[in-house]
């Protein structure tokens, strides 16, 4: 990834993640909580609610797709943040492995697998959590993200 502009120091990752959480209406609306263990790694946690169902008791696949895209993208984004860059989704693919039901707690763990000059590739596994333990992988995915300078978005003003 490119070096940050020398006249502008890169803000702390925690500050950038906090600013991102404030503007991420999608995540808040869907009850998704983001944590970032390190640049290039992200974890989203959410509980399936009534509005996430497509049939009695079963979560809509689009909810899982949204969670997958969010975790894949957040992993890429947290790495891009370290260089004052952003990312946008180019494509992602996922495999649905098990059904998800009302009140299931899900944790999506994404991490960057490759960071090139213009593209970032990340992978993610979404787990169902039971009794505080991840009991089964319900989906796996792979995503590609385009990198671009942060000054193309108003977000940079929030953290500078």
Examine residue 159 and state whether it is found in any structural domain, yes or no. no
CB 64 within 8 Å of CB 96: yes
- CATH value at residue 127: 3.10.129.10
What DSSP string runs through 95-156? Answer: EE-S--BTT-EEEEEEEEEEE-SSEEEEEEEEEEEETTEEEEEEEEEEEEEEEEEGGGSTHH
pLDDT value at residue 111 = 98
**Pick from 66, 42, 67, 57: which is nearest to 126 by CA?**
67
Which residues of the chain are under the pLDDT cut of 50?
Answer: 1-9, 160
Examine residue 133 and state whether it is found in any structural domain, yes or no. yes
Task: Tell me how many domains the chain contains.
Answer: 1
Examine residue 100 and state whether it is found in any structural domain, yes or no. yes
Examine residue 54 and state whether it is found in any structural domain, yes or no. yes
Q: Using one digit for the tens of pLDDT, what is the confidence trace for 105-150?
A: 999 999 999 999 999 999 999 999 977 777 899 999 999 999 999 8
Examine residue 7 and state whether it is found in any structural domain, yes or no. no
**What is the 8-class DSSP label of residue 8?**
S
d(CA 43, CA 146): 20
Q: Is 19 in a helix, a strand, or coil?
A: helix
Q: Containing domain of residue 54, as a range?
A: 13-152
pLDDT value at residue 135 = 81
pLDDT value at residue 12 = 82
pLDDT value at residue 17 = 82
pLDDT value at residue 106 = 97
d(CA 11, CA 4): 10
Examine residue 4 and state whether it is found in any structural domain, yes or no. no
pLDDT value at residue 122 = 98
Examine residue 158 and state whether it is found in any structural domain, yes or no. no
Average pLDDT of the chain, as a whole number: 87
Examine residue 95 and state whether it is found in any structural domain, yes or no. yes
């Amino acid at each position: 990834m490119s070096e940050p502009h020398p006249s502008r120091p890169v803000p702390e990752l925690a500050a950038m993640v906090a600013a991102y959480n404030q503007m991420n209406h999608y995540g808040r609306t869907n009850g998704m909580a983001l944590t970032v263990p390190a640049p290039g790694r992200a974890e989203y946690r959410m509980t399936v609610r009534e509005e996430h169902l497509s049939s009695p008791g079963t979560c809509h696949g689009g909810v899982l797709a949204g969670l997958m895209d969010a975790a894949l993208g957040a992993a890429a984004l947290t790495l891009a943040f370290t260089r004052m860059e952003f990312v946008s989704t180019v494509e992602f693919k996922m495999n649905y492995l098990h059904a998800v039901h009302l009140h299931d707690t899900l944790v999506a763990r994404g991490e960057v697998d490759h960071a090139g000059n213009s593209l970032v590739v990340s992978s993610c596994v979404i787990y169902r959590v039971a009794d505080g333990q991840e009991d089964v992988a319900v989906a796996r995915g792979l995503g590609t993200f385009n990198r671009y300078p942060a000054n193309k978005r108003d977000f940079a003003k929030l953290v500078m």
